[in-house]
Structure 1
């Protein structure tokens, strides 16, 4: 009886372990679309099966990056909807409606560390905190205009403004990337200085246009959803082009 119980426990342990390492499967296009729509950033392994190159590495990476949901799709009829023709690991994000692919037969090296870097570099959200890693994904995006929220971590405004502007960001998908810059750390002092700001001046909101390398500050005052929306719309309508740029000598006024 005791032997039987031990065997049962061992079997159940193996089953649980297998379940833990298995990625959810997407059986059809409807399931794939629902999965992509379920979060701001997701990853799908378009692989022939669990024995495919890259599967184990994908599982390992998914365990290390909890903020990104990962699934498996083995149905090649579904692959075609995402322009996938061979084993591919694809990251989907809503902030700029972008799909970033690693085509496995073109990848010279594939390991879990590399996939973790792939996840974190490309994990651009409706509002993304700026750092050395996220900067790569932000500047690689086809969306070159950034709405910048300068705040000091640890202040009462930090989370409140992040949530407020993050909720606004979907209105400007494909037009702006919303980026939060923590002014309390020395490594971001250069970004603040580019706008003529210091940590004591925060919170503030600015726009940086990568195509023209121009920048503007929202005039001081309440950082409300409506004011930031109008600021973004003014840029899109070309009304900021002639406004004096933000900088160390003077703050921009609309």
Structure 2
């Protein structure tokens, strides 16, 4: 009898722990803030409970995402602090201080595949690798200016440069999105040629301003933290407007 009771309690505790491990519960605003600040990108399900439509789908999507942590907040008194008035699956990202809400009441159909696409599309990090999926989030961001690192994956400097610029990016939160463009991918050839570059010219750093549709390249040389920081600052000071745009052919006098 005692053995059966012990096994029953053990199985119940494991099941409960499994649920909690899938989506940690955030019981107050302090816990929500702590979770938001725990990673570059996080997802929070503002849901009434584990039986809510979207909970199981979010658990499955997060298992498949692997890189984005998620939690659930069932305390409705906390929701208005994040402009949430009804059940929502919300993504928070630090790169541009952005919050993206997926209101479940407006979603025609909630599936794990759709939630995974929602997460991947909006997963902008301090340095985001450009591809067809991330392009949507990048160009939908209110931050229209991109600091671009053109580098060939597999080259000796690729990882070091990516980490160096990722460390610099927080200084320019809300001003630039830092974007990595892999020159070794054929799909990115157009992006390189737009800046007058070829794969053999890399690594290089550029700035694209979506507001003015203008672009510039950091002059050739070492891609140091100091040079890239000054390059960004020169744009913010308005000094690049007088600099020849990248990819422009010099005019020939008649």
Contact persistence 1:193–1:248 (CA under 8 A): no
Gaps of 5+ in 2: none
Q: Which residue of 2 aligns with 1:161?
A: 161
* TM-score, scaled relative to structure 1: 0.93
The alpha-carbon deviation at position 80 of structure 1 amounts to: 1.0
Question: How many angstroms does 1:249 deviate by?
Answer: 3.0
In the alignment, the residues of structure 1 paired with residue 69 and residue 91 of structure 2 have an alpha-carbon distance, to the nearest angstrom, of 10
Q: Residue in 1 aligned with 2:17?
A: 19
Q: Is 1:67 paired with 2:67?
A: yes
Number of equivalences: 248
SS in 2 for 1:85: coil
Where does residue 138 of structure 1 map in the other structure?
A: 138
Q: In the alignment, is the contact (CA less than 8 A) between 1:87 and 1:103 conserved in 2? A: yes
SS at match of 2:219: coil
TM-fit CA distance, 1:135: 0.5
Rounded to whole Å, the distance in 1 between the matches of 2:112 and 2:144 is: 30
Determine helix, strand or coil for the equivalent of 2:14.
helix
Q: Distance in 2 between matches of 1:29 and 1:156?
A: 44
Corresponding residue for residue 96 of structure 1: 96
Q: In structure 1, what is the Cα distance between the partners aligned to 2:217 and 2:10? A: 60
Q: Distance in 1 between matches of 2:242 and 2:226?
A: 22
**Aligned CA-pair RMSD:** 1.8
* 2:199 match: 199
| Secondary structure at the counterpart of residue 68 of structure 1 | coil
C-alpha offsets along residues 144-183 of structure 1, whole Å, 9 cap, x if unaligned? 0000000000011111000000000000000000000000
State the Cα distance separating 1:248 from its structure 2 match: 5.7
CA contact (8 A) 1:197 1:248 kept: no
Query: Residue 110 of structure 1 aligns with which residue?
Result: 110
Task: Give the structure 2 partner of residue 119 of structure 1.
Answer: 119
Counterpart of 2:50 in structure 1 is 50
Which residue number in structure 2 is paired with residue 184 of structure 1? 184
SS in 2 for 1:77: coil
The TM-score with structure 2 as length reference comes to: 0.93
Offset, 1:242: 1.6
CA distance in 2 between counterparts of 1:17 and 1:206 reads 51
1:243 counterpart residue number: 243
Q: Shift of the alpha carbon at 1:185? A: 1.0
